[in-house]
Amino acid sequence: MKKVLSILVTALAFSFSANAQDKMMKHQPVKKNALEQTTGEFTQKSITVSEGTYIFDIANNNVGKDVGLVLVKKEKDASKPENHIQTAYATSAVKNNTVGHSKETKLEKGEYVYFCPLNPTPQDSLIVE
């Protein structure tokens, strides 16, 4: 009986611990990262952020056409859509003189590049520490 009780207590403790970790992860704050595009470029050339979950705000500052955002791990081929981090895409094309948003995107330590194929812009650097 003591052995069964010990097993039950251990299982419950593990279950509570896992639930507490899940709740802590779900309550991590979502951070915002603002990016601005002008004709042919992002105004931010290099960004350094900490690990976490981000929503990208993409401002179209008088580009004259729709813009967007592509984010890719630096070591991957950015020309291949299967390498894009799709949650970082704007949820819809960002119209002239408006601000669009991405979905929540979890960023882990490493180097990334971001660009806009619609504008088009060069690849700029995002470093996650």
Instruction: Check whether 1 has a pLDDT greater than 90.
Output: no
Q: What domains, with CATH codes, occur in the chain? A: 30-128 (2.60.40.420)
Give the CA angle between residues 127, 76, 84 to the nearest 5°. 80
- In this prediction, residue 23 has a pLDDT band, given cuts at 50, 70 and 90, of low
* Non-local CB neighbours of 108 within 8 Å, separated by 6+ positions: 51, 128
Model confidence pLDDT, tens digit, residues 44-82: 999 999 999 999 999 999 999 999 999 999 999 999 999
